[in-house]
Amino acid sequence: MIEVANLSKNYGRHAAVDGISFEVSRGEIVGFLGPNGAGKTTTLRMLTGFLPPTSGAARIAGHDIFRESLDVRRHIGYMPENVPLYTDMRVKEYLRFRGSLRGLKGSQLRKRLGETLDICGLSHVRRKMIKTLSKGYRQRVGLADALIHEPDLLILDEPTNGLDPNQIRAIRSLIQNLGENHTILLSTHILSEVEMTCNKVVIIDEGKVKAADTPKNLVNSMRRAGRISAELQGPREEIETKLSAVGDVTKVTSQPLQDGWNRYTVFVAPNTDTRLRISALAHEMQWPLRSLARRSGTLEEVFVELTRRD
């Protein structure tokens, strides 16, 4: 659905996007991640035809974004970070107007209008003025605007920006449902949402692609893919030294607690679990053990590892 090859955008001597390449297959929900200023929004604007690229190539649904921009736009539904809405219009009136701009008319427009209102949960507010709606419902109107012409591809830039937790859950559920019939490229800072929603992740930083894979594969390949937390009582330095010598352990840190207890964070190699060996070691050394738990790596840790500056 999306093929990007060495795409770049320069502003003078500054490369906002520096030769990135990635692919999005039909039917995928892909998280497009990166810190502020990484080049995410610039990339999305180039793909949607809002910005001309400096160099490189990109195709959407088989159409070249340079030579066939009108064909490309027919396949795309784009929801920018700050959705521009005509707040003095009613929801249904606004979406009818936007559908007509997309070339819909007559029975086709009426059909799509009704379907889109239902899909986005807007039927009960269709006669309300947009300016009276909550932030969450305004986001839904923006999403309905992107959907009105029934595109193959949805490009969503921070769709949950400024929403409360309940609204975020509602939009997440809506995006998951849309993923059954649409390809979705989703830019967001909420990494937990990406883990629950996306089946592929592209991480960009300083205008370059740092990683592109499934969330699970990225977590498994990171330098510190897992960790074990153990609360032990005993000589702190000795415990750290002996835990560090356990097989598959890459690093040990400790945090003092009350009454002589310490919490040890034991970093382990990917796809390993050393809890039985730690438990056996504690029994052998007669260290009181009151807690032993394994915590897998997270997408947030992958993101930080790939984009941190230190």
Question: What are the extents of the domains in the chain?
Answer: 2-213, 223-307
- Domain at 223-307, CATH from 3.30.1540.20, 3.30.70.260, 3.40.190.10, 3.30.930.10: 3.30.70.260
- Is pLDDT of 148 > 70? yes
The pTM for the full model equals 0.78
At 258-294, the pLDDT tens digits run 888 999 999 887 777 889 999 999 999 999 999 999 8
Phi, psi of 154 (to 5 degrees): -110, 125
Tokens of 54: 């400096």
- Please, what is the average pLDDT of the chain? 89
According to DSSP, the β-strands at 76-79 and 153-157 are parallel
Number of H helices, E strands in the chain: 11, 14
Burial 216-236 (b: 16+ CB within 10 A, else e): eebbbebeebbbbebbbbbee
Residue 16: the pLDDT is 92
Q: How far apart are CA 306 and CA 204, in angstroms?
A: 9
Q: How far apart are CA 263 and CA 256, in angstroms?
A: 6
Residues 6 or more apart whose CB falls under 8 angstroms from that of 103 comprise 149
Span 2-213: which CATH code? Answer: 3.40.50.300
At 29-65, the pLDDT tens digits run 999 998 888 899 899 999 988 889 999 999 999 999 8
Residue 301: the pLDDT is 75
Residue 59: the pLDDT is 93
- Is pLDDT of 299 > 90? no
Q: How far apart are CA 294 and CA 27, in angstroms?
A: 34
Please say whether the beta carbons of 168 and 190 come within 8 A.
yes
pLDDT band, very low/low/confident/very high, at 298 (cuts 50, 70, 90): confident
The DSSP letter of residue 105 is -
pLDDT band, very low/low/confident/very high, at 97 (cuts 50, 70, 90): very high
What is 262-307 written as a DSSP string?
A: EEEEEEE-TT---HHHHHHHHHHHT--EEEEEEEE--HHHHHHHHH
At 203-262, the pLDDT tens digits run 999 899 998 988 888 877 765 557 889 999 999 999 999 999 998 888 899 999 988 899
